[in-house]
Amino acid sequence: MKIYDNTTRKLSEEEISSAKPDLERIANIKIGELSLEDNPNLLVFPRDLHRFGDEISENCIISMRDDEISTGNIMGFVGVNDTQLDIKSRFAKVDEDDYFLHYMLQKVFSINLFDIKHTTRQEDIFDFLLYLFPHFLKKALAQGLFKKYRRFEYNDANIRGPIDVNRHIRENIPFRGTVAYSTREHSYDNEVTQLVRHAIEYIRTKEHGAIILNNDPETKSCITQITLATQSYNVRERMKVINQNLRPIRHPYYSAYTDLQNLCLRILHHESLKYGQEKDKVYGVLFDGAWLWEEYLAIVLKEKYNHFTKKFGPKFWLFNHNNKNSQQIIPDYLSKDGTVVADAKYIPLNKQLSYGENSEKATAIYYKTITYMYRFSTKISYLFYPYPEDESENIVEEFNIVETDAKLIKCGLKIPANCKTFLEFIQRVKDFEKIFLTSIPPLRFPAG
């Protein structure tokens, strides 16, 4: 089944009879309530559901009412049993290949761009996993190479541990001057680093594997570290290593390795994302479009705006009550000269009137940004949103706030349509990014 983000469609009679019971397993359920431990084949990005101010964990994958399903900002692939739902970007309605989603993924996860030639949904899933690998590899290696105690067996004259009597009798009679013993030592060559090594070697065999693994100097350095640490690598032991990693890592220091371990398992068994081998388990790869759009825009705007998230950057407070700061707020972007606040909106903002002036959605769109304007003493704010090239709305639309000299500006980034190849899409979207940046006034830094 196929649907687009931020759209609604009715189920066909065939879908009602075959797919509706499965879809009801995920419909109207918040992502935060879908335990990733109970559904290990469901990968959701960003992984830290509570890290961002948008509370991604509160979103549903799909909503269902009677025989009608609706989507929000969630994109990707999800399935239950034999039912598979492909949630494409709404910008893929003209181009069947989801160029915009792939482009944002590659920008956010710092992957070199190459042409896309998909033939099956399964290949789409696998490409997504490959995009993510360098990002999570670098994130894990930033905490250092994973090391743990391992038991080593020796047979020499330098006894450093308890003697293994049975093995000593078996190997050293008649006595040759050596003793069989074992030790527990910290080692970088363990089942976790071996799993990463197997994933690296597996990726090398794929069409774009060399491009991904040689993406940048940092990625190449991380791969070199893993290769040097795993001298005992043996391709024939892949299933043994996979089985040793079926239990998730729970280590307070090496916390980033949990996600890398999970991703490596999915890469090495990527076909299993499709199978729903366990009844009623949810599987797939999902991305929050609002998060991707915000992170992508941060890259486009990096010369003009600072980007903030709940976890990184300074803390901003709305109130000072009884000499204590309260009510933390998180603007998406604040201009480097401190004169402009801006919010990223992935929803079709050029059609916001359909929400109704009194709806909660309309309130959230405008009022939060205006609150930020007051808090940071700015007179200009922006709402940045994407819109299709084939729609004729203005890129920039100004709203003057009544009886003030402040204004809120909706500024759209045009997304190319009717592209024959991914490379053509890249070139055209880069042109539109330049137009988008010129529509934002230059910053006014204080003299000196």
**Ranges of H-type helices in 269-308:** 289-300
Length of the chain: 448
Interatomic CA distance for residues 340 and 104, integer angstroms: 25
- CA distances, 437 to each of 113, 122, 135, 146, 408 (Å): 22, 36, 27, 42, 17
Which residue ranges make up each domain of the chain?
2-144+189-291, 148-187, 301-438
CA pair distance 9, 69, nearest whole angstrom: 6
* Nearest of 43, 48, 192 to residue 131 by alpha carbon: 43
The residues of the chain scoring below 70 in pLDDT are 35-37, 40, 47-56, 94-96, 112-127, 270-280, 310-313, 351-364, 392-394, 442-448
**Predicted local confidence at residue 94, as pLDDT:** 66
Distance CA 182, CA 153 (A): 4
pLDDT per position as a tens digit, 204-242: 988 778 888 887 899 999 999 999 999 999 999 999 999
Measured at the alpha carbon of residue 108, what is the angle toward residues 198 and 383, in degrees to the nearest 5?
160
Exposure string of 275-289, with b = 16+ CB inside 10 Å and e = fewer, is ebeeeebbbbbbbbb
User: Whole-model pTM above 0.85?
Assistant: no
Distance CA(3)–CA(286), nearest Å, equals 14
